[in-house]
């Protein structure tokens, strides 16, 4: 019964995250469109048919999914690779003796936008590389909800065509020697590529690095839609916004939870508990669970933190959206997107710094998040591994790593990862004082939040141990 309670709670919360994400896409789209002075989508319905919907014909190669090859000698003038022409690679500066990276950006990205530009600069500062940027920026300026089910797979299919081109080209390389790096939804697209490769003809991808894979396509154990350890010989995943915009995981051979995985230094909030229960129980038209206009002769609703701690609505006879409803003057961020995206976007500067840093992001295994936060982990020196570009492919399991709040973020090797005794005592005292008074579901939820995974964990830490 305890397991069932935890599992049902997980399902409701995961469904809530999907609703939040769809509405968040509306906020992101509005911000991007406003910057370009175009007519912006105003309702969720508008997001079903936008300028970012993939135009026909739906076949690869597609003119809006392009592959640009950057080398140290062609940083300013990359080669646009045509996978239908063998001479396209011959006429480029591709060198099979150099490591090859394929970078897949996320929503709102592009080859000339960060973090793609910063990542290229870091690699070329380090040495000679073949850097392919998968540029599908015109398809991710706005959401296109009617294609959300299949668009990532379509993009992955076209990337698989590039990989097949490289593996079968006389001047190319094996799939086993390729390293895909995907950010946000690009992480899942990188994982989906494996579904379109033949082990016999193409080989298996050498490595995939997932940079805070988005939660929107992560549906429990659906391994056919999200990045997981079966997609390459080695899959490493970096988590910085877990549970908000990033998935909880773990799903790779090695998962790195940076500063705990969900909250980063310098962002507006500093705790994992950043979702208000009002939004968790708001499930569309479920009028039996939330405030709505049927509950009184007159219901008026004031919105100030819609989508973050408050629900979106409208649900009353009169709904008032103060200063837009989601962000108030004097608060840390001016938009909903910036508030939620801060932790999510911190993952790319961490990874980029890992390419060139001399100190290194040294990570260590820990049983769960609460052990990390309280400093109870004291692994032997040989258990530490580097996170990021130079991670050993032998790394397995869940690791935690702390960073500085400002660049340079890497702290170097710290043999003893400690936390203030007062913080440890406060946590222990809170659990001890409240465990007998909390509802079993609440105790279970706290245990799930503080342990390794919210949507995948098959047990409740505090329910079982206290």
What's the token pair of residue 127? Answer: 């040495």
pLDDT at residue 383 greater than cutoff 90: yes
Instruction: State residue 305's pLDDT score.
Output: 60
Which pLDDT does position 30 carry in this prediction?
46
d(CA 100, CA 86): 18
What pLDDT does residue 448 have?
41
Q: In the structure, what pLDDT confidence band is assigned to residue 142 with cuts at 50, 70 and 90? A: low
Q: Which residue has the higher pLDDT, 83 or 26?
A: 83
What would the pLDDT profile of 328-380 be if each residue is shown by its tens digit? Answer: 565 544 445 555 678 888 899 999 999 999 999 999 999 888 889 888 888 99
What confidence score (pLDDT) does residue 293 get?
84
CATH topology of domain 49-211: Rossmann fold (3.40.50)
Enumerate residues 6+ apart whose C-beta is below 8 A from 456.
10, 220, 221, 248, 249
Q: Which two tokens stand for residue 301?
A: 């609703």
pTM: 0.70
387 phi/psi in degrees, rounded to 5: -95, 145
Question: Is residue 284 very low, low, confident or very high in pLDDT (cuts 50, 70, 90)?
Answer: very low
Helix (H/G/I), strand (E/B), else coil: 375: coil
| Apex 450 CA angle, 446 and 453, nearest 5 | 105
pLDDT for 329 = 62
Per-residue pLDDT, 127: 96
Say how many C-beta atoms besides its own lie within 10 A of residue 157's C-beta. Answer: 20
DSSP of 251-277: -SSEEEEETTSS--TTSS--SS--S-H
Question: What pLDDT digit, counting tens, does each position of 196-247 carry?
Answer: 999 888 899 999 999 999 876 544 444 556 799 999 999 999 999 888 788 8
Q: What is the pLDDT of residues 440-454, one digit of tens each?
A: 434 444 444 344 333
Distance CA 183, CA 156 (A): 14
The 8-class DSSP code of residue 313 comes to: -
Q: What is the residue extent of each domain of the chain?
A: 49-211, 273-331, 422-465
Per-residue pLDDT, averaged over 257-274, amounts to 71
- Cα separation, 21 vs 43, in Å, equals 14
């Amino acid at each position: 019964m305890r397991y069932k309670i935890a599992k049902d709670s997980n399902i409701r919360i995961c469904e809530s995250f999907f609703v939040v994400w769809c509405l968040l896409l509306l906020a992101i789209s509005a911000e991007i469109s406003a910057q370009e002075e175009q007519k912006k989508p105003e309702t969720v319905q508008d997001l079903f048919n936008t300028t970012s919907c993939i135009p026909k014909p739906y076949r690869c190669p597609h003119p809006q999914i392009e592959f640009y090859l950057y080398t140290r000698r062609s940083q300013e003038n990359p080669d646009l690779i045509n996978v239908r022409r063998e001479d396209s690679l011959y006429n480029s500066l591709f060198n099979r003796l150099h490591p090859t990276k394929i970078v897949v950006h996320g929503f709102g990205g592009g080859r000339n936008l960060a973090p793609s530009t910063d990542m290229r600069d870091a690699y070329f500062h380090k040495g000679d590389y073949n850097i392919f940027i998968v540029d599908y920026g015109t398809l991710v300026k706005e959401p296109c909800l009617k294609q959300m089910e299949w668009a990532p797979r379509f993009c992955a299919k076209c990337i698989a065509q590039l990989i097949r081109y490289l593996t079968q080209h006389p001047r190319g390389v094996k799939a086993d020697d390729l390293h895909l790096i995907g950010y946000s939804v690009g992480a899942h697209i990188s994982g989906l590529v494996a579904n379109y490769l033949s082990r016999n003809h193409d080989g298996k991808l050498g490595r995939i690095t997932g940079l805070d894979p988005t939660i929107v396509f992560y549906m429990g154990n659906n391994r056919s839609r999200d990045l997981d350890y079966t997609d390459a010989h080695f899959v490493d995943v970096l988590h910085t916004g877990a549970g908000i915009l990033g998935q909880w995981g773990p799903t790779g051979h090695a998962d790195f939870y940076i500063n705990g995985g969900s909250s980063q230094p310098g962002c507006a909030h500093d705790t994992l508990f950043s979702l208000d229960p009002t939004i968790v129980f708001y499930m569309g038209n479920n009028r039996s669970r939330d405030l709505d206009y049927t509950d009184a002769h007159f219901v008026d609703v004031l919105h100030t933190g819609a989508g973050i701690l408050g629900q979106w609505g409208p649900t009353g006879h009169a709904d008032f959206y103060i200063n837009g409803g989601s962000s108030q003057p004097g608060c840390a961020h001016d938009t909903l997107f910036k508030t939620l995206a801060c932790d999510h976007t911190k993952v790319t500067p961490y990874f980029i710094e890992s390419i060139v840093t001399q100190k290194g992001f040294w990570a260590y295994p820990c049983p769960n998040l609460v052990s990390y936060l309280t400093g109870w982990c004291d692994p032997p020196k040989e258990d530490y591994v580097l996170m990021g570009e130079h991670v050993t492919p032998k790394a397995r399991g869940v690791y935690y790593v702390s960073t500085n709040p400002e660049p340079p973020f890497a702290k170097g090797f710290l043999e003893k990862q400690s936390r203030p005794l007062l913080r440890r005592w406060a946590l222990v005292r809170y659990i001890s004082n409240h465990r007998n008074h909390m509802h079993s579901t609440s105790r279970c939820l706290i245990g799930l939040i503080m342990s390794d995974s919210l949507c995948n964990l098959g047990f409740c830490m505090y329910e079982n141990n206290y």
